[in-house]
A and B are shown apart, each in its own frame.
Chain A
Amino acid sequence: AQKITQTQPGMFVQEKEAVTLDCTYDTSDPSYGLFWYKQPSSGEMIFLIYQGSYDQQNATEGRYSLNFQKARKSANLVISASQLGDSAMYFCAMRATGANSKLTFGKGITLSVRP
């Protein structure tokens, strides 16, 4: 079974600053994938970034980067140069072995960007 833990309370960041959203995971699968999704108030889940367990380098997608520390079982999301539109819920998720396996999500973190 997979488990995702997101324990930070609501996060606040000043516009244009960087912020790190924490995620730890637990799994017995040797191969897995880690995802981050953004959910604005409109409710739609928006894919941000993906990290495979065997990827040697940390994933980056524009202003998003994933700080993957396999030994610590952590997959923190770093958002650089925060924008007001980044205010949303952020979910960390894991996919077990098999590209079409289900996603297991954490409880999410609320991020508020202050002008």
Chain B
Amino acid sequence: EVQLVESGGGLVQPGGSLRLSCAASGFTFSSYEMNWVRQAPGKGLEWVSYISSSGSTIYYADSVKGRFTISRDNAKNSLYLQMNSLRAEDTAVYYCARDSYDSSGYYPRCFDIWGQGTMVTVSS
């Protein structure tokens, strides 16, 4: 079964740090581009960051650039998000999401598999 499982969420004080992890299974992780998407309580979806299959290309939303770092370990089938200088507005459920890809090499630029999410609360 294709699966993504996030972990590492919790309560952190403003200005603090947290590292999220996403464990992938059931597919060849190293072949897929990956993303983090978040959703603040009662709000809509917000894309956070993207990483290419090799890790050589990375993009960030303007709201987190300079504070968050995405990375991956293909040997461990894992995706990470290091979050520093956290703010109250970073409070959200964080999802890891797989970038869709087909065997012909076409990338539609959508998210076909999502994890269940991990909650991050930034509060004093």
A and B held together in a complex: no
Residues of A within 8 A of B (CB): none
